[in-house]
Structure 1
Amino acid sequence: MKQPNQILNEETIETFLKDFPQWKYTKEQTLSYLSFEHSFVSFTSAFLFLTKLAFVSESLDHHAEIWNVYNKVRLKLFTHETNAITSKDLELIRILMENTNEFL
C-alpha cells in the first residue's frame, strides 16, 4: 500500500523556495499551495514551457492547475490528497525549473 504524502512545514517550503523565487507560497484556512505566474515573450514560448510541464507531470503522476492566455501562464500546485504541499510538489518544481530556464 502506498504511503500518504507527508505535509511539509513552512520552514522547509520557504527554504526550498529561496532557490525558486518565481514561486510563491500561500496558506489559506483549508488549503496551502505554491503558485507561479509568468509572462513569456510569446505564445510559443509559453506553450513550450507548458509542454515541458506536461511531460514532467506525467512522469511524476502529479499535476498542477494550469491557466494560460496567450503568453501568460499561471500555475497552482498542491497535493490534492492533503490540500497541502508535500515533497511531490517540490520535486515537480525542481525538475520543471531545471528543464525550462531557456524559456524564462
Structure 2
Amino acid sequence: MAQPLSEQDIRDALNSLEGWEFEGNKIKKEFSFNDFSEALGFIVRVGIEAEKQVHHPELFNVYNTVKIQLSTHDAGDKVTQKDIELAQAIESIL
C-alpha cells in the first residue's frame, strides 16, 4: 500500500509541477485547450498513461477545459508518490 506524503513533501514536489495545487487532500490542475476535440484528445492520452501506471485520476471536462484531481484511494484518499508521478507524466503529455 502506498504511504501518504507529508504536506511539506507534497508542496516540495509541486514546486516542479507548474500550476498544480494541493487542496483537500488532492493535487489538482485545470487545463485549457482551443476546443473540445483538443481537450478530449488530452483526456484520452491521460487515460492511456493512467492505465499504464494503474493509477486513475478524477477527470472533469466542460468544452475546452479539463480539470484533473489526484489522490490515492488505497492510501485513504491522500496524496502519495503515485500521484506526483502521474502528475509528472500528465505534464509530459502536453
TM-score with structure 1 setting the length: 0.83
TM-score with structure 2 setting the length: 0.91
Deviations 1:43-62 (A, max 9, x none): 12111211110111000111
Match of 1:64 in 2: 57
Task: Give the unaligned 5+ runs of structure 2.
Answer: none
Amino acid at match of 1:23: W
Match of 2:40 in 1: 47
Match of 1:92 in 2: 86
Conserved in 1, the CA contact under 8 Å of 2:46 and 2:93?
Answer: no
Q: Displacement of 1:21 after TM fit?
A: 2.1
Matched, 1:7 2:4: yes
Task: Give the unaligned 5+ runs of structure 1.
Answer: none
The structure with the largest alpha-carbon Rg is 1
Match of 2:22 in 1: 25
The share of aligned pairs that are identical, in percent, is 31
Q: Aligned Cα RMSD in Å?
A: 1.1
Measured in 1, the distance between the counterparts of 2:37 and 2:17 equals 23
Amino acid at match of 2:90: L
Q: How many residues align?
A: 93
Amino acid at match of 2:2: N
